[in-house]
Structure 1
Amino acid sequence: MQENILQPEKVLVTGISRGREDFDYTMTELVELAKANNYDVVGELRQNLDRSTAAFYFGSGKVEEIRELADAYDATTVLVNDELSPSQLRNLERETKHHIVDRTQLILEIFANRAQSKTAKMQVEIAQLQYALPRLHPSANKLDQQGGGGVANRGAGETKLEMDKRVLNKRIARLRRELKDADVGEEVRRAKRTDKELPTVALVGYTNAGKSTTMNGLLEKFADHPETKQVFEKDMLFATLDTSVRQITLPNNRKFLLSDTVGFVSKLPHTLVDAFKATLAEAASADLLIQVVDYADPHYPDMMQVTEKTLDSIGIHDIPMIVAYNKADLKAGTVFPEVNGDDLIYSARDAASLDKLTELIQSHLFAQDVTNQYLIPFDKGQVVDFINRETSVENTDYTENGTLITTTVNPIQAGQLRDYLVEA
């Protein structure tokens, strides 16, 4: 018996230029988004138009052309490179006789398919419901338009549309309450991490730039048990939706927390940005940001601009940033690793590159560290244990008066150990 294999849905990719310089780039990205959602892109239609039309988004004559092209390619769905208004969506579906999916809905579908944790699933569902709410449409069945209180769950005189909106709003409110409770739990966990007095570094950047690969590379080099701490990575858009936090302990015993955050994309729906603000709080509270850039992609300057605008929109300002130009090994003729100020050209799969990245991180996080000598009485063994465990010890001697340790400490540790400081 032949196995029935589900074939990818065929789609036609469409869009208007609106005079945007990045139009070609966003159309190319739309194709990649479609592939990420397991669509089979069979054709493409573009229109040079300064602004969308109120009724159909596309200009005169293009709607019929879309229908004919979709029929010719046997496409069941038409993807549109912008968010459509509810009326544009309905009008296009009516006139083209095809299912219409705009860019926002496509990204929401991808996020829904990728979400793994309960928190991520709630965040995505809120965004989906907010998108769906203004797109609810009265039923074509006139008998279903209005009714008395006899219909289950419907108030007297309440239309089906009103009831649907009420149900969606109720669900959104419930999800927000549950998400708030989850956020409180995450804030408690974040506070506990802060209590450890470890500096934090957040990886940010465009989707599929190599943030998770960079994190795994650092874990491989510096984690005690790297195989158990690896984060999910895959060469696809939005492979990571949940923030992962790992502790990195360097050979000199300096420690920091490293977080991997959700990736960005151009025209990221506002509902998703709002929903994922809590997830991105890890970046907002970081001591240092590392913007990971896909240096091998010719559109990387556009990607950097999107990342910076998105960070700005969620209130992330004035945090020191390293710009890490990744995938240099895929760009012919590129010399790496190479450091220029806070910029690094590197490959996340190259050990020497990760060493350079680590040096840059240390120059930011530990710039205020000082090297001191401490004399610890023999009956203060717990202090010696603390120094050996938490600081970067350079030398240990044993004297008549106690243990003499030369070590590098951060300002907080210097305060904790001031009673044992040997004055220069």
Structure 2
Amino acid sequence: MSPSDLLEHGPQVTRAWVLHPDIASDRTRRDARPALEEAVALAAALPGLDVAGSEIVPLAKVRPGWLFGSGKIEDLGTRLKAAEVELVLIDGPVTPVQQRNLEREWKVKILDRTGLILEIFADRARTREGVLQVELAALSYQRTRLVRAWTHLERQRGGLGFVGGPGETQIEADRRAIDEAIVRLKRQLSKVVRTRDLHRAARRKVPFPVVALVGYTNAGKSTLFNRLTGAEVLAKDMLFATLDPTMRSITLPSGLKVILSDTVGFISDLPTQLVAAFRATLEEVLEADLILHVRDIAHPDTESQVADVRAILTDLGVTEETPQIELWNKTDLIEPGQREALAAVAARHEGVRTISAWTGEGIEGLLEAITAALDETRVRREVNLGFSDGRRRAWLYAEGVVEAEQQGEDGVVLTVNWTARQEQRFRALTGE
């Protein structure tokens, strides 16, 4: 039974324990304390879990079949039993063999970081595409772990089934069932993606600039989105509060209309299956005219978070050609004296702004920065219109691009000063 199932069946919850292996031989390891705190926050984001305890486990190196050494396994096992723990969340990769051995030794369910994130995504995904992408990612992940039970195909509702299930099944039958499910899901997903492509093509006919919010999970993107648009997108102090992309149009003080897109939060060691599965969702970022990188400047591990976001953007194919503004958010959580010093540092860096999406501090300056970033180069051209072509003439005047008008024999000649985007929209009106 998954945590989601537990919630649906009543107040019963699953007691969980979070372990962060701090491996000395791992050159890419993060600071252990913030990493453990993030892992606990991930566990708290999954309904039905009661985190009974958490700890950092120092390791000189990984023991291939067991992950931990025999002494540590015995010590942990004693404490887990005393705390009546049912689920152990290990913040890092766990091989199928290690998972099987630890489950048999401790008599608990084991979930690694990838499995936990997949469970959260399954609980939060709302759109048809989001649900299918999570399902596909879960299938790809579970196919590599056929040393233990495959339960996902048997679940009726809630979760992904990684946390519990009916028992061992035959590996070959599981593999065949998974492969068939993957083919079916890819077929369904291709239909959904085609629909999104049609919607995207329709938007291109009226191509307002797209401004994409990106950032580490819980950096405050949805709070900023709500502040700028007046929408009521779920905004909680919780990891992965937003999974499915949300788009709204806003009008800048200059009169320019833009489309603002809120995206899924990034996280370190994001499962590779999810990066691939959510690529279509994150295509909004690839098509953005401006990226707002929302950063939790009050977080103790903010530098590592920024590095993770930049690495994922690079993996997605975002280049330096796309303008970016880095927003140092949550300044309201910083002491006033430090806030002033922070603002002084930000002022020395082009493309950096300090804001508080919660209080609204710095939002006016942000809107000015967005306007400046989207202020495109203008080109002067002459446009010939027939006397009966009042619709396009009215559109040009409404856009404020007409500098002069002269009467001709067959119509009017307008001198316009417009951006490439406005020209593209004008051509779309004519069907060119």
* TM-score (normalised: structure 1): 0.81
* Structure 2 Cα separation of the partners of residues 403 and 386 of structure 1: 14
Query: What's the counterpart of residue 18 of structure 1?
Result: 23
Return the offset for 1:284: 1.0
Find the counterpart in structure 2 of residue 239 from structure 1.
Answer: 241
Counterpart residue number, 1:323: 326
Aligned to 2:164: none
Q: Using the TM superposition, give the Cα deviation of residue 160 of structure 1 relative to its aligned residue in structure 2, in angstroms.
A: 3.0
Question: Could you say if the C-alpha distance between residues 397 and 205 of structure 1 is closer, same or farther in structure 2, counting changes exceeding 3 Å?
Answer: same
What is the CA–CA distance in structure 2 between the aligned matches of 1:256 and 1:317, rounded to whole Å? 21
1:167 equivalent to 2:173? Answer no
* Alpha-carbon distance, 1:381 to partner: 4.4
In structure 2, what is the equivalent of residue 100 of structure 1? 110
Partner of 2:277: 275
Aligned-CA RMSD value: 3.2
Structure 2 residue corresponding to 1:187, chosen from 191, 197, 210 = 197
Which digits, 9 at most, give the CA deviation of each residue in 1:222-241, with x for residues without a partner? xxxxxxx5433222111111
1:266 is matched with 268
CA-CA distance at 1:324 after TM superposition: 0.6
In the comparison of the two structures, how many residue pairs are matched?
Answer: 386
Q: Could you say what secondary structure the match of 2:247 adopts?
A: strand
Match of 2:364 in 1: 355
On the 8 A contact 1:18/1:48 being kept in 2, the answer is yes
Provide Cα deviations, 1:163-202, integer angstroms capped at 9, x if missing partner: 1110111101110111122112112211221221322111
Q: Deviations over 1:234-279 (max 9, x none)?
A: 2211111111122222243212221111111111111111110110
Please name the residue that 2:298 is paired with: 296
**Residue pair 1:16, 1:52 contacting (<8 A) in 2 also:** no
Distance in 1, Cα, partners of 2:183 & 2:268:
28
Contact preservation (8 Å) 1:12, 1:42: yes
Q: 2:52 aligns to what SS in structure 1?
A: strand
In the alignment, the residues of structure 2 paired with residue 326 and residue 9 of structure 1 have an alpha-carbon distance, to the nearest angstrom, of 34
Which of these two proteins has the greater Rg computed from alpha carbons? 1
Q: What is the CA–CA distance in structure 1 between the aligned matches of 2:356 and 2:391, rounded to whole Å?
A: 42
Paired residues of 1:253 and 1:390 also in contact (CA < 8 A): no
Distance 1:172 1:7 in 2: 33
Asked if the contact 1:253/1:392 (under 8 Å) is kept, the reply is no
Query: 1:185 is aligned with what amino acid?
Result: T
Cα displacement (A) at 1:406: 11
SS in 1 for 2:259: strand
Q: Is the 8 A contact 1:26 1:266 kept in 2?
A: no
Match of 1:129 in 2: 139
Distance of 1:15 and 1:197 partners within structure 2: 46
- Any stretches of 5+ residues in structure 1 without a counterpart? 140-158, 221-228, 419-424
Identity level (%) = 37
2:203 is the alignment partner of 1:200: no
* Aligned-partner SS, 1:56: coil
Is the Cα–Cα contact under 8 Å of residues 45 and 66 in structure 1 kept in the other structure? no
Rate the CA distance shift 1:375–1:195 in 2: closer, same or farther, 3 A.
closer
Contact kept? 1:11, 1:75, Cα under 8 Å: yes
- Checking the alignment, whether the CA contact within 8 Å between 1:200 and 1:258 is kept in structure 2 is yes
Matched with 1:34 is: 43
Question: 1:415 and 1:113, CA in 2 relative to 1: closer, same or farther beyond 3 A?
Answer: closer
Contact 1:67–1:98 (Cα < 8 Å) also in 2: no
2:228 to 204, 218, 222: 218
CA distance in 1, matches of 2:257, 2:306: 28
Q: CA-to-partner distance for each residue in 1:339-368, whole Å, 9 max, x for gaps?
A: 541001101134452221111112111142
Residues 1:168 and 1:416: Cα distance change in structure 2 (over 3 Å): closer
CA distance, structure 2, for counterparts of residue 63 and residue 415 of structure 1:
65
AA of the residue aligned to 2:375 = F
The superposition leaves residues 65-93 of structure 1 with CA deviations (integer Å, 9 ceiling, x where unpaired) of 11111112222111111121110000000
Match of 1:116 in 2: 126
Q: Which runs of 5+ in 2 are unaligned?
A: 1-8, 150-168, 428-432
1:82–1:102: 8 Å Cα contact kept in structure 2? Answer: yes
CA distance in 2, matches of 1:346, 1:81: 32
In structure 2, the CA distance between the partners of 1:416 and 1:237, relative to structure 1 (3 Å rule), is closer
Structure 2 equivalent of residue 225 of structure 1: none
Q: CA deviation at 1:314?
A: 2.2
For residues 379-408 of structure 1, the C-alpha deviation after alignment (integer angstroms, 9 at most, x for no partner) is 764345313543489xx9999999999997
Residue 23 of structure 2 aligns to a residue whose secondary structure is coil
